[in-house]
């Protein structure tokens, strides 16, 4: 393995121990800054040894593109295993034949005709969000907007993916919603401590947390199973009464609101229907991925806007030109949302600075051959753990002027440099299947919020923590004040 990667630089590795002296200095609070320092010192493609484990770390677009283009190297690294007890081997954690078959089944649920139908849900749930924020919109109170946005995105993903309303924003004491929040916090806590990625060590060192994790998983799985059973019974009853009304998943968008759960319930693999456990894996996966990542992206974006009056006013002007000064009554469509070009730039810039999934890990299970203008032809050997740092790639000073500044205008006349190797949604076979879904949630949310509220620079600056999903250690603090025309 050493011979294969001798053309790639990296920090000095102590015999046997490797670079653990360097890794010991890195924690979730400083990994963004430390990562940038290491890439600046050793190059955008580097190797790090930890005992007998070889890590290849990349913030190099040319290399990233070849990784993302591969249909072979799609297996996730060990750290994602902390999610398996909850999510099973759904689309996020599976690979090989199972991943391919599930991806093929789920892709139609994000067809543009289905997204058009979901806009009604985004609109109605964002109205609930506006009402929930109203009590804090006095221009003086400091609001941790993440707490509100997280419940809002949970309401959206529950209604669209499972076809059920959980009323997370208004019924904050509901077992399911509180369990999702506590479970995501617990998972993030484990990710921060590499030794606790092992279930055995987690059980031995923190038995009470392990017990609590089991309780939370039971709540989450029971809720999902009940929803699946109810929806299955509803579809079977519908089939008996009028088979013509039953949705045909191959005729995408022909019937009203074709949700993920409906598609899964009617899908087969090699002639066999999916089991309830198969379906639960995918629904739970989308409940986690669909709400936490979007909540992170929206919350960082609102915080950035609260600190930049110029961008906020420019975005407000575009929204008012499209929807007027008074209450928005025009229904949202994909077409009128796509006309908001500056909003596109604002969202892209927010995701550039704070990509929801800041680091992607791939397990190299067979030799990976690559070509590079600087490193030449090379091989990443089997057994390597490949770490792609999207957050470092998207802040690369060689590709972006003033890379740490919030400048949406940089995307207005894109020269193509922000390409597939530097996409906040990843790229290639394993790109984010729900990226268009997330973008339209963000667009409608931003339109509704900025139309009604002014975002004020109140509270503490953010303190980003890099885990599976990027967050802020102290929340996303800002102030709100209702606008007057």
- Residue 57, C-beta contacts closer than 8 angstroms, at least 6 positions apart: 35, 38, 39, 45, 46, 47, 48, 387, 389
For 57-171, where are the alpha helices, taking DSSP H only?
61-69, 84-87, 96-106, 112-134, 145-157
Calculate the alpha carbon distances from 66 to 70, 95, 358, 426 in Å: 6, 18, 19, 12
| Helix, strand or coil, per DSSP, at residue 72 | coil
Q: With contact defined as beta carbons under 8 Å apart, do 156 and 441 qualify?
A: yes
Judging by beta carbons within 10 Å of its beta carbon (0-12, 13-18, 19+), is residue 445 exposed, middle or buried?
buried
Strands 45-50 and 53-58: antiparallel
Asked whether residue 432 is marked as a ligand-binding residue, the answer is yes
User: What does the buried/exposed string (b/e) look like for 367-395 if buried means 16 or more CB atoms within 10 Å of the residue's CB?
Assistant: ebebeeeebeebbbbeebbbbbbbbbbbb
Instruction: Give the residue among 97, 453, 435, 111 at the shortest CA–CA distance from 305.
Output: 453
State CA 305 to chain mean position distance.
20
- Which residue in 153, 406, 156, 409 sits closest to 301, CA to CA? 406
CA distance 57 to 271: 42
User: The tokens of 137 are what?
Assistant: 């919109």
The total number of residues written for the chain in this structure: 485
Using an 8 Å Cβ cutoff, are 105 and 422 in contact? no
Q: Pick out the residues of the known binding site for heme.
A: 432
Q: Pick out the residues of the known binding site.
A: 432
């Amino acid at each position: 393995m050493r011979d294969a990667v001798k053309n790639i630089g990296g920090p000095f590795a102590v015999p046997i121990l490797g670079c653990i002296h360097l890794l010991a200095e890195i924690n979730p609070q400083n990994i963004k800054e430390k990562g940038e320092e290491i890439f600046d010192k050793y190059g955008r493609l580097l190797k790090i040894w930890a005992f007998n484990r070889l890590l290849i770390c990349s913030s190099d677009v040319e290399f990233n593109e070849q990784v993302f283009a591969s249909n072979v190297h799609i297996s996730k690294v060990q750290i994602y295993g902390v999610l398996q007890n909850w999510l099973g081997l759904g689309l996020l954690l599976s690979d090989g034949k199972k991943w391919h078959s599930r991806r093929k089944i789920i892709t139609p649920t994000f067809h543009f005709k289905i997204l058009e139908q979901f806009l009604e849900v985004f609109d109605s749930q964002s109205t609930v969000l506006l009402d929930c924020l109203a009590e804090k919109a006095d221009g003086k109170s400091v609001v941790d907007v993440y707490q509100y946005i997280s419940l809002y995105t949970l309401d959206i993903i529950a209604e669209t993916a499972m076809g059920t309303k959980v009323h997370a924003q208004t019924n904050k004491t509901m077992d399911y919603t509180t369990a999702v929040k506590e479970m995501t916090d617990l998972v993030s806590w484990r990710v921060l401590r590499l030794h606790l990625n092992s279930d055995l060590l987690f059980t031995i060192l923190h038995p009470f947390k392990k017990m609590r994790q089991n309780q939370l998983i039971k709540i989450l799985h029971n809720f999902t199973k009940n929803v699946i059973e109810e929806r299955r019974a509803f579809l079977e009853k519908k089939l008996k009464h009028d088979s013509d009304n039953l949705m045909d998943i191959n005729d995408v968008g022909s019937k009203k609101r074709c949700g993920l759960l409906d598609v899964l319930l009617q899908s087969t693999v090699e002639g066999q229907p999916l089991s309830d456990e198969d379906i639960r894996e995918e629904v739970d996966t989308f409940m986690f991925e669909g709400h936490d990542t979007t909540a992170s992206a929206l919350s960082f974006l609102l915080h950035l806007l609260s600190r930049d009056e110029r961008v906020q006013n420019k975005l407000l002007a575009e929204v008012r030109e499209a929807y007027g000064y008074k209450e928005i009554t025009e229904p949202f469509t994909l077409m009128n949302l796509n006309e908001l070009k500056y909003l596109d730039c604002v969202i892209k810039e927010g995701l550039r600075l704070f990509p929801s999934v800041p680091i992607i890990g791939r397990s190299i299970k067979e030799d990976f051959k690559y070509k590079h203008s600087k490193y030449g032809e090379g091989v990443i050997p089997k057994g390597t753990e490949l770490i792609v740092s999207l957050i470092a790639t998207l802040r690369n000073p060689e590709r972006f002027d003033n890379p740490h500044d919030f400048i949406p205008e940089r995307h207005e006349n894109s020269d193509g440099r922000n390409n597939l190797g530097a996409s906040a949604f990843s790229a290639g076979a394993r790109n984010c299947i729900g990226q268009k879904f997330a973008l339209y949630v963000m667009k409608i949310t931003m339109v509704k919020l900025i139309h009604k509220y002014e975002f004020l620079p109140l509270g503490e600056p953010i303190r980003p923590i890099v885990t599976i999903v990027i967050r802020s250690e102290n929340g996303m603090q800002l102030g709100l004040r209702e606008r007057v025309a």
